[in-house]
Amino acid sequence: MRILSVASAMPQYSYSQQEIFQELCNHWQGQLEHPEVLERLHQRVGVEHRHLAYPLEEYRQIQTWGQANDRWIRAGLELGDRAISTALERAGRKTADISALLTVSVTGIAAPSLDAKLTNRMGLPLDMRRTPIFGLGCVAGAAGIAQAADYVQAYPDRIAVLLSVELCSLTWQRKDISVANMIASGLFADGAAAVVVAGDSVPGTGPEILGHRSSFYANSEHLMGWDISEEGFQIVLSPEVPEIVQQNLPRDVDGFLAEHNLRRRDIGSWIMHTGGPKILDAGAEALGLTREDFAPSWECLRRAGNMSSASVLLVLEDFLYNIHPPAGSYSVLGAMGPGFCAELLLLRW
């Protein structure tokens, strides 16, 4: 099993953190007793720029969940098309080569699902296996690669494509001035990414997928996710999340690596989801690593924000096309998300 290519697709609208802060501050004018709290939260999340699916001023017109979701479908199809097309081009493949398409998102819904709409839009194979996945949140980028790997392990002469589409700006709750929502409004962003995964009988180059592991932490579902109401998706984000990371990640990583007769010191690089400063710091501390070990994740967070499931795929793209780990070296790709849960993959370059 091998990752042949990765490609991100970013919306055309890009804003500085200060521009987004000012827009939200203007919107909440009169509701915020202490606007400096919002500014401080936005400054501390480690984000400098974010892409948004629509111009900032258009968000003022969105009054209902239905209006937001219609925009999610429209922008999601355009970004999904671009991400898949670019990933296939980088892999030297065509749409006819796709045997399975897995689509993950937690920021909008569609029936028929995005993969069905993309099949018509892009002329994808009509006998392609389609698997839309909703609700895994930030962990879905890693979990989606794992599911694609399972598919091509069963069918080693086939190719699977994972598509992540996350338009977090369309979930903003513009009446909610809770600390959790203010943090989310400064952290989350929009984008899409696609990954081409091939079985062992398919020619091509890229990191091998040696294995993966899922971990679910019982009775922790209150830590992260959505409360869904007539207003749409309202963020659930507990301050306990970094503690859960510190308590569980070392055990999960060590157990996973032991299955492959490896230890942490054998890992040459770490491809981690850009959850935010507290999550990245908690993960590094728990594993006995430094900020420098997670530098590519910090950089992706700085330039693009947290794009939920797409974020770890952006970090992976950076490794494939810019960092180029040494041949034969190992990487751990990891993400955590609602449940609370974690997904780890072992790659060899």
144-158 tens-digit pLDDT: 999 999 999 999 999
Question: How many angstroms separate the CA atoms of 244 and 229, rounded?
Answer: 27
Q: What is the pLDDT of residue 306?
A: 96
Whether residues 145 and 289 share a domain: the answer is no
Residues 6+ apart with CB under 8 A from 287: 249, 250, 253, 264, 270
Prediction pTM value: 0.94
Q: What is the pLDDT of residue 185?
A: 82
* Residue 327: domain span: 208-348
Q: What is the mean pLDDT of the chain?
A: 93
Q: What is the pLDDT of residue 30?
A: 67
Catalytic residue list contains 138: yes
pLDDT tens digits for 187-211? 899 999 999 999 999 999 999 999 9
Which of 85, 104, 103, 105 has the alpha carbon at shortest distance from 95? 85
**Number of structural domains the chain divides into:** 2
Whether residues 214 and 153 share a domain: the answer is no
Q: How confident is the model at residue 334 (pLDDT cuts 50, 70, 90)?
A: very high
Answer whether 213's CB lies under 8 Å from 312's CB.
no
Asked whether residue 342 carries a pLDDT value surpassing 90, the answer given is yes
What does the CA dihedral 132, 134, 138, 141 come to, rounded to 10 degrees? -10
CATH number of the domain at 296, please.
3.40.47.10
Lowest mean pLDDT among 19-23, 114-118, 210-214, 276-280: 19-23
> Which is the catalytic residue, given 25, 138, 168, 300?
138
Whether residues 165 and 296 share a domain: the answer is no
Asked whether residue 62 carries a pLDDT value surpassing 80, the answer given is yes
Residues 6+ apart with CB under 8 A from 295: none
Lowest mean pLDDT among 32-41, 235-244, 282-291: 32-41
Whether residues 165 and 23 share a domain: the answer is yes
Q: What is the pLDDT of residue 234?
A: 80
Whether residues 33 and 66 share a domain: the answer is yes
Half-sphere exposure of 53 (CA within 13 A, CB side): 31
Q: What is the pLDDT of residue 230?
A: 80
Q: What is the pLDDT of residue 16?
A: 94
Q: How confident is the model at residue 39 (pLDDT cuts 50, 70, 90)?
A: confident
Q: What is the pLDDT of residue 42?
A: 81
